[in-house]
Amino acid sequence: MKSSDIEIMRVYLCTLDRSLPYPNYNEVKLGDEDRLYGYLQKLIASNLGNVSAKEAPFTEEDELDKMVTDDPADLEMFVNVVTDKMYELVRDNAELTSGTAAFCFFMAEEQPWVGFFKMKFRENFLLTLSEEGTVNWPLHTKALPMAPGKDVEFFLINIYDRLVRVADVEAYIDDVKLNYLAESVLGIKAKPSEKAKVEAIKETTVDTICECYEEKDVPQKILEYKAEVAKQVEATGRVSVAQIEDSVFADNQKAADTYREKLEDEDIPRNPMPVSKKTEKQLCRKQKIVTDNGIELLVPVEYLKNDEYVEYLQDDLGNISIVLKSIKNIKA
């Protein structure tokens, strides 16, 4: 979505600096012409569509869940509790860096959200001018990142459906590695991100193909899988492992059974999984074919199994030739 479509209604800024005895936070009033307002809009927009973000719902009995309401006036109570938790984590865990944080209550696509962004301090030289007209260039160790999305940890809470999107960032807390924003701050158990789930489906499918088919048949079966996924996503906006099984492994019952077992071991659900527009574009665009001698080809998905344009030939030794057809001209 466009960052300009996001309406920010309340903003709190806080410092999470372990060198200070306690955290500080305060509300800032921003107009839509303020540079910080535009910065936060871009920060929100880029992470609403972040396919690497994990998701989890609030439980009804959760303390913080009760503080997240559709009334912007309730934001301060949430800010107070989360700021204290974040400060204690930064103070007591050397792996977590000091930084600046922003809390936002905002509207996106007619839905109310609460967002939190922690930005690491950066060392920048900032040009200053004294009242006497002296120019100086001091090192400022608490400058914000120059571009939204870099060195930023976040969570976003949809107030209506109680679903939390949280950055896929892990750290050691009391000698245990975990997603500290989800588990230590929000008290929720985040599920794998969309990106991780799509990658897990890909790895499981390719592993099954390599395990259950002769080496000479593997490249063609992988292309079948890629074409099947692209067809599903283009038609429904979802990826279904059940349909992948029925389509790709219809000719091999052993492969179908192995695939089902691998899916269970990887805890990949058989229900169709919705994907974002960003993932949809990635799955439906040109697919890369990489040969063992380093040659790379980008082939439109619709041509992967169309031998009028691309044909795969294999000799008795198992060597594969790729023939490109119906070419009218070649652009350098």
Which residues does residue 152 pair with via DSSP β-bridges, in sequence order? 119
- Find the mean pLDDT for residues 236-254: 93
Among the residue ranges 146-150, 206-210, 265-269, 305-309, the one predicted with the least confidence is 146-150
Does the pLDDT of residue 113 top 80, yes or no?
Answer: yes
H or E stretch at 135: strand 135-136
Find the mean pLDDT for residues 206-210.
93
How far apart, in Å, are the Cα atoms of 26 and each of 71, 142, 301? 18, 17, 52
pLDDT greater than 70 at residue 317: no
Contact 151, 167 (CB under 8 A): no
More confident residue, 253 or 124: 253
Q: How far apart are CA 231 and CA 301, in angstroms?
A: 9
Q: Any idea where the domains of the chain sit in the sequence?
A: 3-186, 194-324
Angle at 306 between CA 305 and CA 309, to 5 degrees: 125
129 pairs with which residues across the strands?
135
Q: Give the pLDDT mean for 33-57.
A: 89
Q: What pLDDT is attached to residue 286?
A: 63
In this predicted structure, the answer to whether residue 145 has a pLDDT above a threshold of 60 is no
Q: Among 14-23, 74-83, 304-313, which stretch is predicted with the lowest mean pLDDT?
A: 304-313
Give me 326's structure tokens. 């119906």
Q: Is the pLDDT of residue 174 over 90?
A: no
Residue 149: predicted pLDDT = 54
Q: 252's torsion region: left (phi>0), alpha (psi -120 to 50) or beta?
A: beta
Query: Would you list the DSSP string of 35-70?
Result: HHHHHHHHHHHHHHT-TT-EEEEPPTT-HHHHH--S
Phi, psi of 198 (to 5 degrees): -65, -40
In Å, how far are 107, 232, 254, 267 from 264, measured between CA atoms?
38, 21, 16, 5
Percent of the chain predicted with pLDDT > 90: 39
Position 14 scores a pLDDT of 92
Distances (CA, A) of 124 to 28, 127, 138, 158, 170: 24, 10, 8, 35, 26
Q: How is residue 186 written in tokens? A: 């929000």
Comparing CA positions, the residue from 207, 313, 216 lying closest to residue 225 is 207
Cβ–Cβ under 8 Å, residues 203 and 211: no
Q: What is the predicted pLDDT for the residue at 302? A: 66
Average pLDDT for 266-283: 82
Place 141 in a pLDDT band, splitting at 50, 70 and 90: low
H helix and E strand count, the chain: 9, 19
Cα distances from 295 to residues 177, 292, 298, 312, in angstroms, run 40, 7, 10, 15
pLDDT at residue 307 is higher than 80:
no
**Local structure of 27: helix, strand or coil:** strand
Contact status, residue 14 vs residue 100, Cβ threshold 8 Å = yes
* Cα–Cα distance measured from residue 63 to residue 321, given in angstroms and rounded to the nearest whole number: 62
Pick the residue with more confidence: 164 or 318?
A: 164
